[in-house]
Amino acid sequence: MPDLKRLFRESGKRQSDIAAAVGRSEGAVSQWVSGDREIPADLVLRIEEFTGIPRHRLRPDLWETSMTSSARPTPPDLTHLQRLEAESIHIIREVAAEARKPVMLYSVGKDSAVMLHLAKKAFAPGVPPFPLLHVNTTWKFRDMITFRDERVRSMGMELIEWINQEGVAQGINPFDHGGAYTDIMKTVALKAALDHHGFDVAFGGARRDEEKSRAKERIFSFRSEAHRWDPKRQRPELWNLYNTRIGNKESIRVFPISNWTELDIWQYIHLESIPIVPLYFSAERPVVQHNGLTIMVDDERMRIPPGQAPQMKRIRFRTLGCYPLTGAVESEAATLPEIIQEMLLTRTSERQGRAIDHDAAASMEKKKQEGYF
Amino acid sequence: MAHVSDLIATDIGAYLKQHETKSLLRFITCGSVDDGKSTLIGRLLYDSKMIFEDQLAALESDSKKMGTQGENIDFALLVDGLAAEREQGITIDVAYRFFSTDKRKFIVADTPGHEQYTRNMVTGASTADLAVILIDARKGVLTQTRRHSYLVSLLGIRNVVLAINKMDAVGYSREVFDRILGDYMAFAAPLAIEKIVPIPISALMGDNITERSGNMSWYAGPTLMSHLETVSIARQPSGAAFRMPVQWVNRPNMNFRGFSGLIAAGTIFPGDPVKIMPSARQSRVASVILDGEMPYATAGQSVTITLEDEVDCSRGDVICAGESPAEVSDQFETTLVWMNDNPMLSGRSYLMKIGAKTVTASVTTLKHKVNVNTLEQSAARDLKLNEIGVCNISLDQAIAFDPYEENRHTGGFILIDRLTNETVAAGLIHFALRRAQNIHWQSVDVGREARADQKRQRPCVLWFTGLSGAGKSTIANLVERRLFAMGKHTYMLDGDNVRHGLCRDLGFTNADRVENIRRVGEVAKLMADAGLIVLASFISPFRSERDMVRRLLPEGDFLEVFVDVPLDVAESRDPKGLYKKARAGEITNFTGVSSPYEPPETPELHIQTAKMRPEDAAELIVAGLEARGLLRGGDA
């Protein structure tokens, strides 16, 4: 006789719930548990479905021999991270299968780290069948570049680094050129890199929860020859079917982690032990105050505001970019759980630390139409 | 993002452990602006503490500037995204929102409710496990409620929450709630929605959203949030047979060959027997891999499978449970939701993507369209944007499938326009047409090549296209005379002549033009098969139909002859007086005047007749055929 009392208890369902689920009285269920009666054969599958207890354990006399394999457990529900992971891998594979010449934009941050990890899983035991592209403004944190080169080496992937040499020659920098700096060294550089190599599809690590206008961005985002985004010409995305067909010179930006939130990203990094740039963890670093942000003095090019001297503070970064434009937060969080704890208790959104967003309400949408990622 | 759990501050490790096992629920909200849909979503985000302080500050200032709630927070502003929409005050697309509680993560597809946004709602519903249908308690069940419920049931969503909103505006009246619920149940009965849970709420005031309302003590059911957190979602029946469309053949080196895909149904263990459909080749699973080897994998996971045998299996095939594989067919009854400004035309060929497979499909019969408001069926010749119709479709090859009702991912498909590359329709397979299984090709002993050899020629189709008055028939006639004189066996199909017989029942609407060309294409194909050189002379204004005929024939046997003349020249010739009538409005849909002509992009032969006599044009074409080796005998 099966020990139904124990089986039911381990399933987490109360006997009264089981009774309700199969339309029997609680008395009937207690008769099964006490062994006075057996579970009627026609209820076994419904109870299996409700409790997750395999049929051959409920009625071994009926099912044990007829089961093809008694070792087949009923799989538990997938977790939200498993579902997000599966969706992202599906998207990455679909691009690899249908694109002529895809590339993955790698910005070295935590979202890129997750995207790269997903790409690795998608093609294991092989290596992802596309190169990585890093648009380097030459003002990235030094730690980012060190980390990038180590990751690429251990993944065995090709990295294409693109620097807008014209902008470098003209001395374009984040101190003197403000918005034009981002445009020339990031947006223009990205378009030039894509055109130069003839990439038809570029993966990006943007998420829909980052900003309001991104909530309506499709996973496959179509761009004209001039890389412009037209919100009215986006294609409907049904089920998990993606239409990847494009005309000559048109291109697609694909966002495999669209449906991840900042919390999902951190939980996944924690769960999968994905390496991230040390700048995300708290440490003593030299900082100054600049335009209302706490800026780390990463190299000698930093223009120290008059009257200030770099101070050592325990800081970390919630998002990474060009060091003179990326605000640090004072923090003691030195481990992943502490980072997640701090994020959950904090009261400001992650993009607040980026100087680029402090424009008009719909600024991101405008930038996107112009081709900013 | 202050989650409510105390664990965050006291024991972050325990909190993370707890949250690693959260499940995911995707739902769609259906309703119009006036129903308070955006307010509801904003409220869910706000009440689950998903709003940051900087966002809240922006919301408060926005509410004062452009809100509709006076001094109160206008939650709708949280979710109205694009600049254009904010100005117009309506949401015009599908937006995806995220929030999570201690029990679940939620993805909300927020779609507009007006009839002109049916396609957006269908898009949002295609990935949803549950639908929240909003009803304004002051207005009760409306036409749009019926439409939303129909679309929800069509897309196979089995769980519905009927959120009767604005209860504050009807004095939290139980009578109003009961009456609306009665109305709704009466019409929803035939829709086959498995589970309908009605909840009286006020999104504006927060009643029964996360906290039980003190204003409706008569209501004993769950709050909206607690229902969303606990409702059980059976994405598929337990024991569903295994299905995995192969997305990618993973072959990093000679020693490894795996098949990658997202499992659409069932569970797979190493050792399980499988069949590769549609070929029905058999094998067994050697291993299941995601990073490392796994004991098993189940629906919803993206994995790589290796097989015990070196069987032929490529992208687009479906790996199925050996004992119950997917069906295979090339003709189906389907429901199409049309999503493009250009209407669906019977006979036109589209690309169909289902799973990882892309094939050519055309609608053979539009049986009827469905009025989304009344569910009435009516006869139709085409489907316009946002219209829904039941159609038979025919493919150029057989595919593996399951009925949509059994599995969204092996029974749902999209149609793609070949020229614009746009996604023009969402489709749901109901069943395979028996015809496809029972009508086989009759094999014949005397084949195409034997018939051509007997005539000592290479059959082909010369397709003359161009404006009316360009000189197509004149030139085709001269070419035929020359070929005939050379001892070739020919036949000429002429646009005017076929309309006296074969296509007598067709007019000149776009739909009829497509059908006209389809029929002529099939006839030309039969004649070429019989060994003839066919000269077809048709305006054939649309590229997609000319390409359709091209695809009917073996590679190299279709020669597009573009008889090119400027419109003003053709109009000045006007041999049949048709341009004059068209300009006078006596003829509608006249190519070049009131209907477009799409010139060939890369015709095999391009003849500019404004500069050339018909005799010279015919000479040029015959020379072109010779240069291609088409006039050498079958003895070559």
Same domain, B96 and B226: yes
The mean per-residue pLDDT over the stretch B584-590 comes to 83
**Among residues B256, B175, B186, B182, which one has the least CA distance to residue B218?**
B175
Same domain, A309 and A333: yes
Q: What is the DSSP string of A41-83?
A: GGGHHHHHHHH---HHHH-HHHHTTT-S-TT-PPPPPPPHHHH
**Among residues B372, B351, B371, which one has the least CA distance to residue B380?**
B371
The mean per-residue pLDDT over the stretch B308-333 comes to 93
Could you give the C-alpha distances from B168 to B138, B144, B202, in angstroms and in order?
A: 10, 22, 6
Q: What is the CATH number of the domain that holds A190?
A: 3.40.50.620
Res A295: pLDDT: 94
Please, which pLDDT band fits residue A349 given cuts at 50, 70 and 90?
low
Res A65: pLDDT: 41
Tokens of B36: 């308070």
Same domain, B332 and B409: yes
Res B96: pLDDT: 87
Q: How far is A340 from chain B (nearest CA, A)?
A: 8
Tokens of A244: 């990847």
In the block, tokens 């993955």 appear at A104
The H-assigned helical ranges of B80-142 are: 83-88, 118-125
Which residues in chain A have Cβ-Cβ distances shorter than 8 Å to B15? 341, 344
Count of beta carbons in the 10 Å neighbourhood of residue B190 = 10
Q: Are B631 and B488 in contact (CB under 8 A)?
A: yes
Q: Are A78 and B23 in contact (CB under 8 A)?
A: yes
Same domain, A87 and A210: yes
Q: Report the C-alpha gap between B288 and B292 in whole angstroms.
A: 8
Pick the most confident of A230-234, A292-296, B61-65. A292-296
Res A369: pLDDT: 54
A86 or B111: which leads in pLDDT: A86
Taking CA–CA distances from B120, the nearest residue in chain A reads A236
Q: What is the DSSP string of A95-162?
A: HHHH-SSEEEE--SSHHHHHHHHHHHHHHTTS--SS-EEEE--S-B-HHHHHHHHHHHHHHT--EEEE
Tokens of B204: 């504006």
Choosing from B435, B470, B490, the residue where a domain stops is: B435
In the block, tokens 């009440």 appear at B47
Boundaries of domain holding B453: 448-627
Q: Is residue A50 part of a domain?
A: yes
Choosing from A226, A261, A296, the residue where a domain stops is: A261
Q: How far is A90 from chain B (nearest CA, A)?
A: 6
Question: Quick check: B444 pLDDT over 60?
Answer: yes
Boundaries of domain holding A12: 4-63
Q: Summarize pLDDT for A99-138 with one digit per residue, the tens.
A: 999 999 999 999 999 999 999 999 999 999 999 999 999 9
At position A369, the amino acid (one-letter code) is Q
Query: Percent of chain B, pLDDT > 90?
Result: 48
Q: What is the ipTM of this complex?
A: 0.77
Q: Report the C-alpha gap between B512 and B523 in whole angstroms.
A: 17
Q: What is the CATH number of the domain that holds B349?
A: 2.40.30.10
Res A209: pLDDT: 84
Q: Report the C-alpha gap between B69 and A372 in whole angstroms.
A: 35
Q: Is residue A308 part of a domain?
A: yes
Res A70: pLDDT: 46
Same domain, B476 and B414: no
Please, which pLDDT band fits residue B33 given cuts at 50, 70 and 90?
low
Res A21: pLDDT: 86
Count of beta carbons in the 10 Å neighbourhood of residue B607 = 25
Q: Report the C-alpha gap between B168 and B136 in whole angstroms.
A: 11
Answer left, alpha or beta for residue A171, where phi above 0 means left and psi between -120 and 50 means alpha: left
Same domain, A20 and A54: yes
Same domain, A51 and A86: no
Same domain, B332 and B275: no
Res B479: pLDDT: 94
Is position B110 annotated in a ligand binding site?
yes
Q: Within chain A, how many helices (H) and strands (E) appear?
A: 15, 10
Q: Is residue B500 part of a domain?
A: yes
Same domain, B163 and B185: yes
Question: Quick check: B440 pLDDT over 70?
Answer: no
Question: Quick check: B82 pLDDT over 60?
Answer: no
Res A359: pLDDT: 39
**Among residues B423, B361, B428, B424, which one has the least CA distance to residue B401?**
B428
Please, which pLDDT band fits residue B442 given cuts at 50, 70 and 90?
low
Same domain, A170 and A242: yes
The three-point CA angle B93-A202-A182 to 5° equals 85
**Among residues A83, A84, A81, A63, which one has the least CA distance to residue A72?**
A63
Same domain, A112 and A224: yes
Which residues in chain B have Cβ-Cβ distances shorter than 8 Å to A243? 353, 414, 416, 421-423
First to last CA, chain A: 63
Q: What is the CATH number of the domain that holds B586?
A: 3.40.50.300
Question: Quick check: B500 pLDDT over 90?
Answer: no
The mean per-residue pLDDT over the stretch B69-82 comes to 63
Half-sphere exposure of A321 (CA within 13 A, CB side): 20
A227 Cα distance to chain centroid: 24
Same domain, A331 and A230: no
Is position B347 annotated in a ligand binding site?
no
Res A24: pLDDT: 85
Q: Report the C-alpha gap between B519 and B522 in whole angstroms.
A: 5
Same domain, A18 and A119: no
Same domain, A247 and A347: no
Q: Report the C-alpha gap between B248 and A122 in whole angstroms.
A: 10
Question: Quick check: A69 pLDDT over 60?
Answer: no
Asked if B413's CB is within 8 angstroms of A344's CB, the reply is: no
Asked if B105's CB is within 8 angstroms of A264's CB, the reply is: yes
Cross-strand partners of B395: B361
Tokens of B557: 């046997």
Pick the most confident of B34-43, B114-123, B153-162, B501-510. B153-162
Please, which pLDDT band fits residue A357 given cuts at 50, 70 and 90?
very low
Same domain, B406 and B341: yes
Same domain, A150 and A57: no
Taking CA–CA distances from A129, the nearest residue in chain B reads B252
Q: What is the CATH number of the domain that holds A52?
A: 1.10.260.40
Please, which pLDDT band fits residue B238 given cuts at 50, 70 and 90?
low
Same domain, B301 and B391: no
Same domain, A296 and A257: no
B324 Cα distance to chain centroid: 27
Q: Is residue B440 part of a domain?
A: no
Question: Quick check: A354 pLDDT over 80?
Answer: no
Question: Quick check: B86 pLDDT over 70?
Answer: no
Q: Is residue B237 part of a domain?
A: no
Tokens of B545: 């139909």
Is residue B540 annotated as part of the catalytic site, yes or no? yes
**Among residues B143, B137, B207, B206, which one has the least CA distance to residue B165?**
B137
Task: Collect all residues with Cβ–Cβ distance below 8 Å to B306 and sequence separation of at least 6.
Answer: B256, B257, B258, B259, B285, B286, B287, B289
- Report how many domains make up chain A: 3
Choosing from B276, B303, B321, the residue where a domain stops is: B321
Res B192: pLDDT: 79
The mean per-residue pLDDT over the stretch A144-151 comes to 96
Pairing, β B195-200 against β B159-165:
parallel
Please, which pLDDT band fits residue B383 given cuts at 50, 70 and 90?
very high
Tokens of B124: 């949002």
Which residues in chain B have Cβ-Cβ distances shorter than 8 Å to A273? none
A340 or A346: which leads in pLDDT: A340
Tokens of B113: 């409710």
Is position B629 annotated in a ligand binding site?
no
Is position B419 annotated in a ligand binding site?
no
- Range of weakest confidence among A120-124, A319-323, B290-294: B290-294
Res A202: pLDDT: 97
Q: Summarize pLDDT for B183-230 with one digit per residue, the tens.
A: 999 888 888 788 899 999 999 888 999 889 999 999 999 999 999 999
Question: Quick check: B89 pLDDT over 60?
Answer: no
- Report how many domains make up chain B: 4
Q: Report the C-alpha gap between A131 and A224 in whole angstroms.
A: 23
In the block, tokens 């299984």 appear at B437
The H-assigned helical ranges of B317-420 are: 408-411
Res A350: pLDDT: 55
Task: Collect all residues with Cβ–Cβ distance below 8 Å to B279 and sequence separation of at least 6.
Answer: B312, B317
Same domain, B536 and B574: yes
Q: Summarize pLDDT for B456-487 with one digit per residue, the tens.
A: 888 999 999 999 888 899 999 999 999 988 88
Catalytic annotation, pick one of B153, B329, B540, B595: B540
Q: How far is B12 from chain A (nearest CA, A)?
A: 6
Task: Collect all residues with Cβ–Cβ distance below 8 Å to A51 and sequence separation of at least 6.
Answer: A7, A8, A11, A13, A18
Question: Quick check: B634 pLDDT over 50?
Answer: no
- Range of weakest confidence among A12-16, A82-86, A259-263: A12-16
Choosing from B173, B201, B230, the residue where a domain stops is: B230
Tokens of A286: 């030299």
Question: Quick check: B404 pLDDT over 60?
Answer: yes
Asked if B98's CB is within 8 angstroms of A208's CB, the reply is: yes
Taking CA–CA distances from B422, the nearest residue in chain A reads A235
The strand ranges marked E within B457-601 are: 460-465, 490-494, 533-537, 558-564
Which residues in chain A have Cβ-Cβ distances shorter than 8 Å to B119? 236
